[in-house]
Structure 1
Amino acid sequence: MSQTVPDVPSIPYGVNNGYGNYPPARPGPHYAQSTGAYSVARDKVLQGRAVKQVELFQGNLVLDVPVSSHIIPAGRQDVEEMSEMHYTAATCDPDDFLKSRYSLRPYLLGRQTELFIVMTMYNKDEHSVLKNIAHLCGRSKSKTWGSEGWKKVVVCVVSDGHSKINKRALQVLSLMGCYQDGIAKDSVAGKDVTAHIFEYTSSVMVTELGEVSQTGCSIQIIFSLKEQNKKKLNSHRWFFSAFGPLIKPNVCVLLDVGTKPTGTSIHELWKCFDKHSNVGGACGEICVDTGRGCSLLLTRPLAASQNFEYKMSNILDKPLENGPDGKGPLPASYFKGETMHGGGPNGAGLFERNMHLVEDCILRFEIVTTKQEEWVLKYAKSAKASTNVPASVPEFISPRRRWLNGSLFASIHSTVFWFKIWTSGQNFFRKSF
């Protein structure tokens, strides 16, 4: 006896089958209309990874990137230099920066720069420089400075090596609006990038504790992040050879690693140049950071001995060297920008010279012996700067060895080129001494 099997009815899975949303649609990449949390988060990630095509300007990569609204000072939202960060990817040597048609914001704005300050990336105290600039802006009776005095000051921060940079330093620069992650490129038009240049006019100060606050004084900052670690001489080449001819400063300020200008020291040095037209370089007094209550001097004999050495140098050596020819050591070097151009239309300036002339020991010799010029170097006692000294023997030997090697090389250089003093514009007494 055969049994008849009934037909199995087909289940309609169509849209209009009366079952509603079945099977349920999972929010994901195939459902553009979904508003689930997964879809929203994924769309944000995809937007961040979107590739934007940028047209090169004169063959160079130049970008104006908006900054966070929290960084922009109140009422300055329409000011481009305070609302947008300027990024330039340099693919050339520092000597070819101008020839490659690169530019900087102070040059494009047509500003006359009085002070051009260069700071190394490892300098941990940028607040002292900001305080000095605030002091300059507060001199309302000055013909040079005043409330708009910040427009005459440019601070250049040079970092040696993209991979070697301190991450905390990048975070501080990001909070100040001078750096944004993800913008720097490795190559442009098939050429390797040698330096990433970020420009921004910031009024944000970040303390050592990470506290962020707005200040009443703005500051023009050029952050040069070199792609490779090529040491201090190459950093000075970027400052003098690349940025110097565009900025054309009246006074250049070089802050060594760990050197912290105190009080109004930068203004005191500037007055030295302003009062004496024949001053080509000046330095202030170097003091040892003794810690709270001079605790470092009491607990570290090596630090106390270096403090004594600095004091004797400031009391005996510097005043004597200031008198006859001013060719003594300048631990914190401050040089007049006009002397870097050679002092005359026919002479090759230090902006065009080899990189070894940027070293302090050689640079002061070149200033004094500039052809047909009577430049002198001065010691400004009222300008003080504190520095950290090595507290252990290994830390003490390394910089001391470098200093001795530099002094030896400077002595050999001045001995070989002694005849340059007779081609300078110095008087007979200085030439003979």
Structure 2
Amino acid sequence: MATETPASEAPVRVLLPQILPALVVGVGSGLLFLGISAVADRLKDVLWDTLPDALGIGHYSSLWMIVMLTASGIAVGLVVWKVPGHAGPDPASVGLGGPPIAPVVVPGLLLASILTLAGGVSLGPESPTIEAAIALTYWAGRKLLPAVPGLFWVQLAAAATLGALFGTPVAAALVISEALVGKPGPGSLWDRLFAPLLAAGAGALTTQLIARPTFAMGLPGLDDTGYEDLLAALVVAPLAAAFGLLACYAFPLVHRAFGRLRHPMLALPLGGLVLGLLGALGGSLTLFKGLDETKELVASIGTLGSGELARLAVVKLVALVVAASCGFRGGRVFPAVFVGTAFGLTAQALVPEMNPTVAVSCAVLGIVLATTRQGWISLFIAAVIASSPSMLVLLCLASLPAWLVVTGRPQLELDEHGHALR
């Protein structure tokens, strides 16, 4: 089961004992993600449907958006201030994984994440869910099997949760393999991926059997590609990446501005108020994590003008920066997908001859690449959204100029000193 094994030991004898822990962690991480999502969705229905109906207020009126997002800031601020563990580390410094936090922090982190998701904040569930899964898996694994290296449990939990989040183990395999590049270890790459990939598969299958999630956005099919599609891909992806970099450059500045308030009960309510005003400006499509809203946006192809689409992209990008800067607990990948979709549809509205599938998938590739700096996960998300094998070649080629735009530039993640990672 341990990842540090003498090279002389038969690989099969090493890998077989890893199967049961990987399956348990995979199913457990899937259930954790589904539980968080279910509670957040139920609370969202109460806050945005039941309560406005009882008060006779429009569900997504400007006033209600401002009130609800400010109230969400107050609620999350109280959790960060008063709950043990203060809802974990500064979310601006958290990516897709990291060292395990103490188990006592997990309840506050999950509560803050649920309030963030239900309150309409432009953040997703990925980072808090992965943090919680790693913490619980690491704690239980070290208690039950103390001889197993801690890194084994961290990798299992991260892979399992990624599999659950995206409904497929492919994303987890790509992220883990990228993380293993250049790191010494016994056995081949597939020996080292065996347990994480199994955990990711179990997490993905758990999610698929219970919730049947999908990243397919309903974009038009693309049976064949031509030179005009290649040209569009090579232009849209780097332009989207440059647009995403605007958020990366602004991130440490906005984070520093909220940090000067020096208290969560000042920073988070103010951040919620700003997000409410942005919601009033951009409309209900710019609220929440963005996955359902992205599908709704794609369904409206041809009905919104380039100006309206550009407004949605800008408002959502600004909302993402504000939400991640002021202390709301949530991930940045799901909102980035919405930004990319709105950017791609803006490009397609300006150049109607451009295929919307090419425009959207390449824009999502550029935005996610700029904000995460993870090439494989960016390609995976863009390919899943396109739902077209013909797009794979275009996306691989489009990733190259987009990478030239973002490499060495600030990321949408900070270090412990508040400086942007590069």
Instruction: Compare the two structures and name the one with the higher strand fraction.
Output: 1
The two structures have a TM-score, normalised by structure 1, of 0.23
Larger RCO (CA under 8 A, 6+ residues apart): 2
The two structures have a TM-score, normalised by structure 2, of 0.24
Instruction: Compare the two structures and name the one with the higher helix fraction.
Output: 2
